[in-house]
A = this chain, B = another copy of it.
Amino acid sequence: MNIKLNRGSTIPLARQIEEGIADRILSGHFDPGAQLPTVRELSRVLQVSPVTVTHALKLLEERRLVNRVKGKGVFVAADVVGTSWQQRKSEENNSPPIPDYVHRSQHFHFNRTAAAINLSLSTVHPHLLPTQALADSVTRMIAADPEVLAQFGEIQGDTELRNYLAQYMERERLQVSPEQILITNGSQQGIDLVARCFLGPGDIVVTEEPTYSAAIDVFKSRGATVWSVPVDQEGMRVERLLPLLDSGGSPKLIYTVPTFHNPTGTVMSERRRRELIELANQLNCLVLEDDPWSEVYFHEPPPPPLQALDRRGSVIYVKGLGKMLAPSCRVGYLIASGRVRERLLAAKANADLGNPLLNQKVVLALFQSQVFSRYLNRLRKDLAQKRDLAVRLLEEYAPTGVTWNVPRGGLNLWLSLPAGANALLLLERAEKESLHFLPGSACYPGDVEWNHLRISFSCVTDEELEQGIRLLGRLMQEYLTLPSGQKGTTPYF
């Protein structure tokens, strides 16, 4: 266990250790019932006093994540929710534990499910995709130029595709040159490359609260300190950063999903966008703009991307095309300039020496076929209908006290149970009936709110959506009417 401690931080060391171990438990890195290292061992490895370790373990015990057994040691609670529903293979328990640096992988953990109705997949259902057009593009492209198959691509990505993407971004109100574009394996790799370039132990990264769970996983695994600020109807509450700055330290990176925010669906107003850029410039810090689906607006287009408002080259823009266009190609890209781009390119080389060329050529062929803009228009309508259906179903089946947003774009709904409820316990019940969703707790980097959940309406058929929300409604009803003693026996209150 390698927990990165930030000795200059205002967060006490015991809290940092508690969080490091909690992250691992909630990512399923420890089996339920597994023994933790001894106080002495932790004290040695982490180079802190035994008193600090004991305090951290006490905090974990209070959260019911671990149990202390007198004379034997400290054990991960056997009933840790979020871990126990995940059946582990016995093989995995035999090999000796080797200290590792994957501090958190909750996104991965909560996406491993065999549930029949999966409301956690934030991608577009195959039935809505232009599959036949994709197939035709592939076949045509291969027939015209089979030699593509025998070539490695450039590390930065195929020049032809980058030329096209530069034009495409112009329609999205962003002026970029093909040299500024770096092709990545999905947007996830874009986030990861930025983190591996610019974040390390002790560096501070700011995120929205809640935010995209897999981004938290990446930042924490780099050993960075994550500050988070809440979102409201105008997006990230930029002004809430100021008191954090007074506490000492200055962020190196601000990560944001400004448009159809993941998971809450809100859109950052243009005013806030300008405030954010200005603050970033004052702080001399980078901004990572994650734009998964700004094209998928339901009625009116969102404000221009942050990068369009940036004159200093401090915004890095990240985008994935897989979820809305060609999942099997997983082509994403990032846009950066100057030295930042140069570093990201070197990091991409170290990471994997470049994306496969085949997929890039397939996506390019699809773009060139003119199918894309027709498809996008249809997708907007299809997803708006799906959102409407989901909202109607929630109105019908959700019990009193449950609230949700009505997003104007994107693929997700963010549900809130009454305070005091725990969506992880709800998930445990749902899994038993083969229904899955993303527990909102995975979207908090620090102090977790347990009473939220995210459902995606985009990757299920209308029948599954109806079945899923009806079932979810019944499960919420049952859970919320439990006697408060039972409802409260969670490890987290």
A interface, CB within 8 angstroms of B: 2, 27, 29, 89, 91-92, 94-102, 105, 107-109, 111, 123, 126, 129, 131-132, 134-135, 138-139, 142-143, 146-153, 155, 179, 184-186, 188-189, 192, 196-201, 214, 217-218, 221, 223, 252, 284, 286, 312-313, 322, 326-331, 337-343, 345-347, 349-359, 361-362
Q: Decide: A94 near B338, CB < 8 A? Known: A197-B101, A198-B101, A354-B330.
A: yes
- Taking the closest CB of chain B, its distance from the CB of A216, in whole angstroms, is 10
18 A-B pairs within 8 Å (CB atoms) are namely A92-B338, A95-B338, A95-B339, A95-B340, A97-B339, A108-B155, A129-B149, A132-B146, A138-B139, A139-B143, A149-B329, A151-B327, A192-B350, A201-B201, A328-B356, A351-B351, A358-B362, A359-B359
**Alpha-carbon gap, A342 to B327, bound state (A):** 24
A356 touches B330 (CB 8 A): yes
Which residue of A101, A143, A188, A322 has the most chain B CB atoms within 10 A of its CB atom?
A101
* Other-chain residue from B135, B139, B350 in contact with A217 (beta carbon distance below 8 A): B350
B92 touches A339 (CB 8 A): yes
A131 touches B102 (CB 8 A): no
Q: Decide: A330 near B351, CB < 8 A? Known: A27-B346, A138-B138, A342-B92.
A: no
Which residue of the partner chain B has the closest CB to A362? B358
**Alpha-carbon gap, A192 to B352, bound state (A):** 8
**Alpha-carbon gap, A34 to B185, bound state (A):** 33
Contacts of A359 in B (CB 8 A): 356, 358-359
Contacts of A189 in B (CB 8 A): 351-352
Which residue of the partner chain B has the closest CB to A345? B108
A188 touches B352 (CB 8 A): yes
Q: Decide: A343 near B100, CB < 8 A? Known: A131-B146, A349-B214.
A: yes
Closest 3 A/B residue pairs (Cβ):
A95-B338, A108-B349, A126-B150
B356 touches A105 (CB 8 A): no
**Alpha-carbon gap, A398 to B377, bound state (A):** 64
Q: Decide: A186 near B353, CB < 8 A? Known: A346-B27, A362-B358.
A: yes
**Alpha-carbon gap, A477 to B134, bound state (A):** 55
B126 touches A198 (CB 8 A): no
Which residue of the partner chain B has the closest CB to A326? B149
* Other-chain residue from B2, B98, B111, B148 in contact with A286 (beta carbon distance below 8 A): B98
- Taking the closest CB of chain B, its distance from the CB of A3, in whole angstroms, is 11
Contacts of A199 in B (CB 8 A): 101
- Taking the closest CB of chain B, its distance from the CB of A5, in whole angstroms, is 13
- Taking the closest CB of chain B, its distance from the CB of A2, in whole angstroms, is 6
Q: Decide: A152 near B95, CB < 8 A? Known: A147-B131, A362-B358.
A: no
Contacts of A2 in B (CB 8 A): 200
Which residue of the partner chain B has the closest CB to A356? B330
Q: Decide: A98 near B328, CB < 8 A? Known: A200-B2, A346-B105.
A: no
Contacts of A322 in B (CB 8 A): 152, 356
- Taking the closest CB of chain B, its distance from the CB of A193, in whole angstroms, is 9
**Alpha-carbon gap, A371 to B242, bound state (A):** 64
A146 touches B135 (CB 8 A): yes
Which residue of A27, A107, A286 has the most chain B CB atoms within 10 A of its CB atom?
A107
A346 touches B214 (CB 8 A): no
* Other-chain residue from B89, B99, B185, B346 in contact with A185 (beta carbon distance below 8 A): B185
A328 touches B149 (CB 8 A): yes
Contacts of A329 in B (CB 8 A): 149, 356, 358
Which residue of the partner chain B has the closest CB to A337? B95
**Alpha-carbon gap, A350 to B186, bound state (A):** 11
A327 touches B357 (CB 8 A): yes
Contacts of A328 in B (CB 8 A): 148-153, 356-358, 361
- Taking the closest CB of chain B, its distance from the CB of A100, in whole angstroms, is 5
Contacts of A97 in B (CB 8 A): 339
**Alpha-carbon gap, A355 to B328, bound state (A):** 9
**Alpha-carbon gap, A96 to B198, bound state (A):** 14
**Alpha-carbon gap, A389 to B106, bound state (A):** 54
* Other-chain residue from B96, B142, B337, B351 in contact with A135 (beta carbon distance below 8 A): B142
Q: Decide: A200 near B355, CB < 8 A? Known: A108-B346, A150-B129.
A: no
